[in-house]
Amino acid sequence: MPRGDGFGWRRDTRPRRATDPWRAARRCGQWALPVLPILIFGGACTLGGVFLAQQPPRLFRYTIDEVIMDERFHEVGRVVLLYVGILVAGQLVSALSRFWMTVAGQRLLHNMRIQLYDHMQSLPLTFFDNHRVGDLMARVTGDVRQVESLILHTGNSLVRQIFGMGFALYYMTRYSPLLTVLILIPVPILAIGVYVFSRRMRILYRAIRESMGALSAKLQENLSGIRVIQAFHREPVEHDRIAAVSVDVMNRSVKASRTAAVVYPILRLVGASGAVIVLGAGAVLISRDALTVGALTAFSMYVAHFYSPINEFVHTFDTIQRALASGERIFEVLDTESDIRDPADPMPMPPPRGAVTFDHVTFAYPDGKMVLCDISVDVRPGQRIALVGRSGAGKTSFVNLIPRFYDVSDGSVSVDGMDVRRVRLAELRQSIAMVLQETFLFDGTIRENLLYGNLNADSEMIETAARVANAHDFIECLAQGYDTPIGERGVKLSGGQKQRMAIARAVLANPRILILDEATSSVDGESEQLIHQALQRLMKGRTTFIIAHRLSTVRSADRILVLEDGRVTEEGPHSDLLANAGWYADMARRQIAFEIGEDL
């Protein structure tokens, strides 16, 4: 287990598998509590429908033995009307049951989706580092729907089947206890078959759901990167990769279907043996005047009512295994506990100044890889700190510790003298804004994306922020101005426009601490100049951490930290580091030579 973070042992954020299917079933049942009144009413309607469905055999017995055999044909009309009334009443209660079960199902589906999504939002970034987005999406959509089916539709089917068998068994016992005992002979064989079959199918369906998650993840990745695929003409390669995953889903599904195709007929044949027993034994009883023709007819109908639910049990348990496999995948996520959460007794954030202190900070990822080692840095309010170094030196990990995207393994990070683990995450992160190299914009309008920085901002504040970010002019040139849709991930905007949008969003957030992670590395020269101007306005009066490789970005910083292998090896202003003739001076010399076109 990883070393403690100063406040107790760090929790393991890896998902834990719910290996007990019935534990998963019990937990799934807890989701039904909010809609329990609707379920009870729907269940009562279902029971009413089951009871009414058991009455026609009694009418058949009465018609044969009492009306036809005794030649009381004047009662035929009354019997027919009664039969029609039972059918109509049965359809009415069935319709009520279906409607209210659908209402309960939709509410339940909504509650499950939201609970799972909210829990995902509370998990640390380490969880998402180790899980594919497509697979998580499959859990929120497909797996949740399977569990909803278990609680409602499968539960409703079980009610019909169990009470249908119970009513049928009761009426069969009244007509002929001997025949009833005989038709129960195959039941233990069926029960054992269903049990063995269900255990086998749960394993198969778990594998199918895992394969479906992998397919969803690959599809999501490819559709998101379709421009790269087409640009490099890798459609055939990606076709083969998608096909390989899809074939795996197909093979697992065929394997499950093959197992079902073998088991279903065997179980049905065993169940059909009961009807054979009734036919032979019933004929003998009628020959000995121990049973009437009408009673045998009704008994035969009840045998169908008795064995039909048993055969349905096979399908029901099949559905249950699908749902339990999905439930295990859902609870893997819900059982994952976050080690990044609010303290039990949070302290209020001190008045905003922007001081940041790293006190002997060591940080390693859960897999044990050491990223930062014994770093101590004291940043005064309003200072601009540039972080430079080779890729993988720990620059991004350094700044990610400030908003507590990750927790330190040892030491502490403080903002305005308060350890970041002592305050509420919402308060801490409201005081920090980030402008990243890869700007993420949501599928919506420009206004909606800018409001992400401050949901209470009015139109005047939004326009002011856009002007600060040098974004107002290009926004005004768009067909709908601030209400222009920008597409998924801002696909309708250029890289420079997206960066200026990110800066405007940060302006609206009005943070005390600003983090710039390669904010100008992927834009053209003209856009870079506009972004630099916007950043200078944004950084004014704010403590700023700048990750960059270009001298034009870092040379104006108050202090520059050079990171190598997770340690600060050089520290100071641009002029001092040039004089030190270390890594930074060498990097600066190479950039200058490149800009003027000299060979080194």
User: Does 425 or 21 have the greater pLDDT score?
Assistant: 425
Assign 314 a pLDDT band (cuts: 50, 70, 90): low
For the domain 123-334, what is the CATH code? 1.20.1560.10
Quote the pLDDT of residue 8: 35
Q: Which three-class secondary structure string do you get for 240-308?
A: HHHHHHHHHHHHHHHHHHHHHHHHHHHHHHHHHHHHHHHHHHHHHHHHCCCCCHHHHHHHHHHHHHHHH
DSSP three-state, residue 203? helix
pTM > 0.85: yes or no: no
DSSP character string of 371-394: EEEEEEEEE-TT-EEEEEESTTSS
Residue closest to 482 by CA, chosen among 467, 496, 494, 564: 467
pLDDT in tens, 440-480: 888 888 898 888 888 888 989 988 888 888 888 888 888 88
Contact 290, 281 (CB under 8 A): no
Residue closest to 413 by CA, chosen among 452, 454, 477, 360: 360
pLDDT in tens, 501-541: 888 888 888 888 998 887 665 555 556 678 778 878 888 88
Left (φ > 0), alpha (ψ -120 to 50) or beta: where does 497 sit? alpha
For the domain 382-392+435-596, what is the CATH code? 3.40.50.300
pLDDT in tens, 71-95: 788 888 888 898 899 889 988 998 8
Quote the pLDDT of residue 11: 39
**Is the Cα torsion angle 259, 262, 268, 269 positive or negative in sign?**
negative
Tell me which of 79-83, 311-315, 440-444, 595-599 is least confident: 595-599
pLDDT in tens, 360-392: 999 988 777 889 999 999 999 999 999 998 888
**Is the Cα torsion angle 207, 210, 214, 220 positive or negative in sign?**
positive
Quote the pLDDT of residue 423: 92
Residue spans of the domains in the chain: they are: 123-334, 382-392+435-596
